[in-house]
Chains A and B, each alone.
Chain A
Amino acid sequence: MSPRIATASVAAALLLAAACAPAPTRPVPPPPREHPPAVGPMRPFTLPTKRDFTLANGMKVTLVPFGTLPKTALLLAVRTANTAEGAHRGLLNITAELLKEGAGTRDAEALAQYAADMGGALEINPALDQTTFGLDVLSDRAADAIGLLADVVRRPRLPAAELPRLKTDLARQVAVARSRPQTLAHEAFAHLMWGDHPYGHEQPTEAEIAAIDIRDVHAFVDREFSAARAHLFVSGQFDAAAVERALRAAFGDWAAGTAPAPHPPTGSRTRVVKLIDRPGAAQSTILLGVPVPGPATPGFIGLSVANAMLGGGLLSRLDRNIREDKGWTYGAASRITPLADGVALWTVATDVNAPDTAPALAEIFKEIDRLRTEPPPADELRSIQNFRAGAFVIGASSRGGILAQLAFIDLQGLPDEYLTQYVQHVYGVTQDELRSAAAHYLDTSAATLVVVADLGKLRPAIEALPALKGARFE
């Protein structure tokens, strides 16, 4: 997986034409071969125009007319997250479910039917740094959809009678999630990486879920959902005047509320290894990572290109090596996950055939080291740059993609230029800048590693890896 790359819009038209590249060169072996047709310059691509404004109560609005289909996507992003739960872990997840249990004049069933009548379904996504309310409807219902969103965040019924069922559901979801080796790896990794910060507790315990009270939910909603924390994004085909009227009527008198409490995370830079036993496991789950600076940092684009070269898809070195050469895995990926306060997390994740666990780890470390010590060949860099640029254009080619990218730069506090100049910056990364970014940031001597595996068979080989010499084994 490659880093989350923002897409989206901005007033100015962005020309990607110059950005795209000639066909990669190819060695020509002895027998005469046919060659693919040459690849010409890319057709100019214009990001859609957006309009930003702020209501008197501080709520931000972004409207982006886009596309040829009669649908409208709405995304209401609210600055509250699992970090705001305090001691009540799981409270936001429960709250998100309770918000669907009726709002305004409608009970839960009527609310679901109302959304379906518009051709949509309400999706509430609690996350680490922001909670989003998504609704994608037929264009002629866009104004109604805004009213529905306002009902949900401003006039939720929060029926106490539904709380026990939703707590039972959450406990079951957690149990099911924790039966997957990837969840176990992430959970252990998060705790080692973030310690007692809320990021360090990915799944609530049964006791924490049981302790949630309806009064906690009311207090959370009253405190955490308010205009000054909210940003409504609208994209697709819509009647802009009608949408603006509807949103001013629906949200104009919403109380501004208070700013979210800061929860700056500090990631671990201790070289630590945790091995988790999963007897009989046919594969071993590997998760390796280190904190890195977020997208506002100069050099982040260079780091993101380095990351894509290492583990961003079919062309990446990890896939070419441990999948396409060795056959040890179905896939290996590295990614950068931007978090709050200028912090991001870089991780490598894969599931490898159990007998190949230690050799696979050795190859992963080898590939990271190679990226940090040798400037990449020019044609490989050009391929990765093209891949990133193409993904940017494809990502900006739907109303949902546009909203996701705009919400991303908003949350990260990035200027519009991050998007308008993204492709240009990708192509600006040099061979040595890439190596240098990898050397500086992808520091495996400060990394956290979790392996979920059949340790009865594999522990000695993992512990004996030269790359792990000197690491603290948890």
Chain B
Amino acid sequence: MPHPSHAARVRAALLACAATFATGALAAAPQLNVPVEYYRLANGLRVVLSQDAAVPTTTVAVYYHIGFRTEPRNRTGFAHLFEHLMFQESKNLDRGEADKLVNGNGGISNGSTRFDYTNYYQVVPSNVTEAVLWVEAERMRGLALSESSLQNQKDVVKNEVRVNVLNRPYGGFPWLDLPQKANENWYNAHNFYGELADIDAATLADVRSFYDTYYVPSNAVLVVAGDFDPATTRAAIERFFGALPTRPEPKRPDISEPPQHEERLTTSTDPLAPRPALAFGYHVPDRNTPEWYAFGLIDQILLQGDDSRLWQRLVKERGYADGVEGGINLIGNMFDYEGPTLWAASLIHDPGTADERIVADLDEVIGRLQSTPVGAAELERAITKIRSQLYDVAGSPTRFGLAELLACFALFDDDPARINRLESEFRKVTPEALRATAQRYLVPTNRTRLSLAAGRAATGGKP
């Protein structure tokens, strides 16, 4: 699980556009048009193919519909620990051999665990595509974990938590801390990285049970994007994955969050932090609703970029901080989760700045959005920012962002092609709908505040 740091979150966006765009004929708003071929194997595995042979590399990603939100209750951090285990030995591969097949043939690979999925992804020179497909099928069907590998990866994961949280100022702030305070349902409100004791408690029996339940074809999607021959690749997918037995799709527990009726204020002290910090989060509308698209534009208008209203007020005018960072879903983006999430932001400020002053400014900026319709130029700017980000997702040299949207839309919506309709959905949002959404959701009773006290006034260590 990469650490989404305060200052360096990666905001994925989406999309690609038709390759029909020629220099000298730059149209005003080219149509986004990612090629999408979608089907399911007989055992239920979803497959998304998106061909683009501009450069000779291929991106292969497998997303399993199991994230840290729904991991076992007495095993916090287990979904993420399990992600590490999938890189260990399997029936036909010794430890390290999968890495050698992918990276040793010129690829880049990784995995990550998020609220509602765990993913494994790699970009390789396109001649390695079939070998990578074989590796993904191999670990979907034949994980053969040893006790020593389990122990080793427990140690690695505990060191991951130490470097990213325990020995790091602002380590869990606010990405780990805020969901635990803002939510009531355990699935949304536990420590996703895991208590070290829970990580230690994991057994091979836990691993087997989790693997057999969740790592089945009917609970996964395979995405292949980039430079590949469709017919050959479809045949290879059928050959490698088609033989996997059909297993039931696991049931999803109730992850809904009860409505919030009162503002939540919490404080904590970070013994490593030299300055106080403030975070705030609001529950957002259900995904794929008109209000949710409106909220996506509200995020752009209020928070994204140094042109945004909160940046202008809190950073530029008031000088509370050198930046204010956040968005919808702090460890991902507005498209890669399923279920409840927060729109949240945070800033590190000086001791002389009372939280109440910052919140008063926040409320005033929000109040203006609730009382006065957004003008045409500002609305267009918000859509432009989204469109520009979508192109960057499609144009990324790894295509990891593209694979993510295709995978999430296949797993959550059974409709990866909706990637090509996002911009038009945002364009349906009217200034009045945007104002109504702000009035309904951006209210203090729907808010959680997290005040972080600085436990380390002096800086640095002593020689």
Contacts and interface: CB of A to CB of B under 8 A. Distances in A.
A270 to B, nearest CB: 18
B125 A36 contact: no
A179 B169 contact: yes
B201 interface: no
A117 interface: yes
Interface of A: 20-21, 23-24, 26-27, 29, 33-45, 65, 67-71, 100, 108-109, 112-113, 115-121, 136-140, 165, 168-170, 172-176, 178-181, 184, 188, 237-241, 274-278, 281-283, 313-315, 320, 323-330, 351-353, 382-384, 386-387, 389-391, 393-399, 401, 452, 474
A24 B127 contact: no
B329 interface: no
Contacts of B23: 65, 237-240
A39 B26 CA distance: 40
A276 B385 contact: no
Contacts of A329: 156, 159, 163
B358 to A, nearest CB: 15
Interface in B168-216: 168-170
Task: With a 10 A CB-CB cut-off, give which of A108, A139, A325, A394 has the most chain B CB atoms.
Answer: A394
B26 A173 contact: no
Contact of A395 (B28, B131, B163, B397): B397
Contact of B125 (A43, A71, A179): A43
Interface residues of B, number: 97
Interface string B110-132: 00000000000001111110110
A328 to B, nearest CB: 7
A414 to B, nearest CB: 22
Contacts of B236: 37
Contacts of A275: 463
B307 A115 contact: yes
A11 B282 CA distance: 52
Contacts of B30: 70
Nearest to A313: B103
A383 B103 contact: yes
A353 B159 contact: yes
B274 A175 contact: yes
B108 A330 contact: no
25 contacts: A33-B92, A36-B101, A36-B134, A43-B126, A68-B52, A69-B394, A71-B392, A71-B395, A100-B306, A109-B316, A112-B305, A112-B311, A116-B384, A119-B384, A119-B388, A170-B322, A181-B461, A237-B21, A237-B26, A323-B156, A325-B152, A327-B152, A330-B156, A389-B125, A394-B108
A280 to B, nearest CB: 8
A184 B461 contact: yes
B160 to A, nearest CB: 4
Nearest to B385: A116
Given A237-B23, A314-B99, A390-B108, A70 B316 contact: no
Interface string B262-276: 000000000011110
A402 B427 CA distance: 33
Interface in B1-56: 16-17, 19, 21, 23-24, 26-28, 30, 52, 54-56
B163 A119 contact: no
B107 interface: yes
B26 A139 contact: yes
A168 B350 contact: yes
Task: With a 10 A CB-CB cut-off, give which of B19, B126, B307 has the most chain A CB atoms.
Answer: B307
A181 B162 CA distance: 12
B106 A387 contact: yes
A315 B100 contact: yes
Nearest to A188: B463
Contacts of A277: 461-463
B162 A353 contact: yes
B289 interface: no
Nearest to B108: A394
B100 A383 contact: yes
A90 to B, nearest CB: 14
Given A315-B103, A383-B105, A398-B395, 7 more contacts: A23-B105, A29-B94, A42-B126, A117-B381, A179-B456, A324-B96, A394-B397
Contacts of A389: 106, 125
Contacts of A386: 104-106
A39 B306 CA distance: 47
Nearest to A241: B24
Contact of A397 (B57, B163, B319): B57
Contacts of A174: 459
Given A24-B104, A43-B227, A327-B155, A179 B109 contact: no
Which A-B residue pairs are the 6 nearest by beta carbons?
Answer: A390-B106, A327-B155, A119-B388, A383-B104, A169-B322, A112-B307
B384 A117 contact: yes
Contact of B388 (A138, A274, A399): A138
A327 B311 CA distance: 42
A21 B105 contact: yes
Contact of A315 (B57, B104, B305): B104
Contact of B159 (A21, A188, A283): A283
Nearest to A285: B167
Contacts of B460: 178-179, 184
A176 B152 contact: no
A71 B104 contact: no
Task: With a 10 A CB-CB cut-off, give which of B21, B125, B154, B459 has the most chain A CB atoms.
Answer: B125
Nearest to B152: A327
Contacts of A140: 26-28
